[in-house]
Amino acid sequence: MSELNLILIGPPGAGKGTQAERLQRDLDVPFVSTGEMLRANVKQESALGKQAKRYMDAGDLVPDDLIVKMARERLQLEDAQDGFILDGFPRTLEQAEALDEMLSGLTRRVTAAVLIDVPDAEVERRLSGRRVCEKGGHNYHVEFDPPKRDSVCDEDGSPLVQREDDKPEVIRRRLAVYHEQTEPLISFYDDKGLLRRIDGTHDAADVHDHIRAVIATLRHEENV
């Protein structure tokens, strides 16, 4: 396979970041997220970064055209020539169509869109149970990885808190946005024959194995 260009899709809490990091190590291709692109451009004070910072400072969403321009620049860097893993972009149908157009202009294409499928109830269970150490940022989960003492960090004895975006009402709002804006991408890529579904309710190692199997199948199909 000449290049492997993957998009990860899934609700918040599906484990996309975890899987992207594992795949990055396996495949030696960059993991590119919207946040990473924005932070890099703002830090470098690039022309695109300066434009994006004005929106961010005002508390507004960075427009799609700016995100697409950043993606175009990022995906032309040397480390992305053998492929890339996208997480958080595209987030909407408009962004997906813009990405296709942009890649076509570079004589490239999306290899597959991998959906890490997790039901809403499981997302809420995962995210609402997370607790973070106020001092050192150590992470726990009340069900999957609890501290030895309730609400106290094992490392430094600091209080454990629930982040604002892990509260149930906030999680439900995030899921509503996902269903409205991002879930249509499932049909978009399915219609193109590019969607691959992974059951994200299994543990991270199993999900990783399933994604690796999908990649192996893609490579086999190309060589047949």
Active site residue 197: no
179 secondary structure, DSSP code: I
Which of 163, 167, 173, 219 is catalytic? The answer is: 163
- The number of beta carbons lying within 10 Å of the beta carbon of residue 86 is 25
Which of 108, 130, 131, 196 is catalytic? The answer is: 130
Which of 69, 108, 174, 196 is catalytic? The answer is: 174
Active site residue 174: yes
Best CA proximity match to 112, nearest among 11, 224, 213: 213
Which of 22, 74, 91, 131 is catalytic? The answer is: 91
- The number of beta carbons lying within 10 Å of the beta carbon of residue 32 is 24
Active site residue 163: yes
Active site residue 39: no
Best CA proximity match to 124, nearest among 10, 2, 11, 28: 11
Which residues does residue 140 pair with via DSSP β-bridges, in sequence order?
131
Q: 87 is written with which tokens?
A: 């997480």
Which residues does residue 32 pair with via DSSP β-bridges, in sequence order?
86
Q: Find out whether 115 and 195 touch, Cβ atoms under 8 Å.
A: yes
- Going by their DSSP bridges, the two strands 160-161 and 130-133 should be labelled as antiparallel
CA distance 40 to 212: 29
**Close Cβ partners of 7 (under 8 Å, ≥ 6 residues apart):** 85, 86, 90, 110, 112, 113, 114, 189
Active site residue 196: no
Q: 119 is written with which tokens?
A: 């039901």
Active site residues: 16, 91, 130, 163, 174
